[in-house]
Amino acid sequence: MNILIVDDEEVLQDILTSLIRREGHHPISAATGEEALALLEREEVDLVLLDLMLPGMRGMEVLRQIRRRDTDQVVVVITAFSSIESAIEAMREGAFHYIPKPFKNEEVLLTIRKGLEQRHLRTENRSLKEQLRQRFAFDNIIGKSKPMQQVYELIQLAAPSKSNIMILGESGTGKELVAKAIHHHSRRAEGPFVTVNSGSMPADLLESNLFGHVRGAFTGAVVSKKGLFELATNGSIFFDEIGNIPLDTQAKLLRVIQEREFMRLGGLETIKVDVRIIAATNAELESAVQQGAFREDLFYRLNVITVTLPPLRKRTEDIPLLAQHFLAHYARENEKAIRDISPQAMELLLDYHWPGNVRELENAVERAVVLSIGEVLTEELLPSSVRHRESAGLPPATLPSNGISFKDAVSDYERQIIIRALQSCGGVQKRAAELLQVKPTTLHEMMKRLNISSESLVTT
């Protein structure tokens, strides 16, 4: 083990060097804080013995710099007996322990042994977390639950094929991540991956973006422009929220799939294209097909292989893994020392129903990391919607002094629950039924009985 001694007194350095060698470790010496920090950049050090009284940069600042660079570094401070207050301050700054001068050799050796044991445990814990992350992560899609393992298996089987793929899942479940994973594990991985935000632009602009246009095709078309299909040649094109594409554009998209060719807006030249289509939606496309809002022939062309992403509430065992992943990511990004989540905070994360799925969890953890000042994410850092568990349900019933009709109260309560479920699922009855843990037919009958219509979803 490498142990760095940071002290400007040669006599003390000699004593500590002798003790460290006697224990079978390798001592490294530095006389100043600046020299110590430079050594830590070059050498792998398992433990630092740091005198707080140094020339130039003070020992406390050296400690802060070390902890800023590596929160797992074990630092034992050495201080004069008359400066115990400084030692206590150093402990607050993250020092493992302190040794007062004059010290006993056995006391130093015992502290070094405990410090190295702590270093070993931290390194082992970090290694286990990394193994866990690698084992249960697939191209940044994280989860060890059975539903997610099934998603991984389907991606690995479907990715090498030439077939178009449909990804189904609620908003925030990670559909684009899955699309990228499919592309990167396909034979087109060296080609481009192009995303189309299907629902964020009007039809004419969408077609111009998809197929390109020639000069003079419309007002403002001063130069010819390639479309996204051309840019995605030999790669994959991902349609996010495919159900929002207008019917006219759907017909042109169907032609591209069938003929592998298209024309730019205002152009006469036929352009050949070799692109794999990956589509995603959080809507019930089959219902849209039945209602005439989505072309049936296009639906079957796109829906060759279906990957269904489970909502986070259906895979709660993945929440700790996801939360730790986001914690590590945003701690690095914001240069925070936060390393863990308190049991109380984790209990709240597990109890919450996460209507916004993984994206909402990520936002909650990012917010907590930004607001944190310590090394542990605590419950008060979480959003109020997560902390106040009752917000996931309905407020407690009150009993007026003049009494209440029990039948009417129960019906009103049922009505509120159903409407909230439908609102959280975008009006999709099948998903609302899953949320309420009833059959779709049962939900439909309850809606009829309680006179719940699409209008009530808007006005409530």
**What pLDDT is stored for residue 82 in this prediction?**
57
**What pLDDT is stored for residue 400 in this prediction?**
57
Of 131-135, 230-234, 295-299, the least confident: 131-135
CATH code of the domain in which 290 resides:
3.40.50.300
Contacts of 45 by beta carbon, 8 Å cutoff, 6+ apart: 2, 3, 4, 28, 39, 73
State phi, psi for 426 to the nearest 5 degrees. 65, 25
Mean pLDDT of 437-452: 83
pTM comes to 0.58
Mean pLDDT of 233-245: 91
For residue 400, being part of any structural domain is answered with no
Same domain as 331, residue 302: no
- Rounded Cα gap, residues 212 and 229, in angstroms: 8
For residue 71, being part of any structural domain is answered with yes
Same domain as 174, residue 293: yes
Same domain as 451, residue 375: no
The SS3 call for residue 194 is strand
Same domain as 194, residue 182: yes
* Tokens found for residue 259: 């003929």
Domain ends where: 284, 310, 336?
Answer: 310
For residue 269, being part of any structural domain is answered with yes
Same domain as 331, residue 441: no
Domain ends where: 100, 133, 166?
Answer: 133
pLDDT at 5 over 60: yes
Mean pLDDT of 192-212: 83
Place of tokens 């796109």: 302
Number of domains forming the structure of the chain: 4
For residue 199, being part of any structural domain is answered with yes
Q: What is the pLDDT of residues 89-103, one digit of tens each?
A: 888 888 999 888 888
Same domain as 410, residue 376: no
Same domain as 197, residue 276: yes
For residue 7, being part of any structural domain is answered with yes
Q: What is the pLDDT of residues 259-307, one digit of tens each?
A: 999 998 888 889 999 999 999 998 778 888 988 989 999 999 999 999 9
pLDDT at 392 over 70: no
Domain that holds residue 89: 2-133
- DSSP3 helix / strand / coil % (the chain, rounded to 5): 50, 15, 35
Same domain as 299, residue 439: no
For residue 441, being part of any structural domain is answered with yes
**What pLDDT is stored for residue 455 in this prediction?**
47
Same domain as 352, residue 423: no
pLDDT confidence of 457, banded at 50, 70, 90?
low
For residue 193, being part of any structural domain is answered with yes
Q: Determine whether 37 is exposed, middle or buried from the number of CB atoms within 10 Å of its CB (0-12, 13-18, 19+).
A: middle
Q: β-pairing, 261-263 with 270-272?
A: antiparallel
Same domain as 239, residue 300: yes
Same domain as 267, residue 344: no
For residue 398, being part of any structural domain is answered with no
Same domain as 59, residue 115: yes
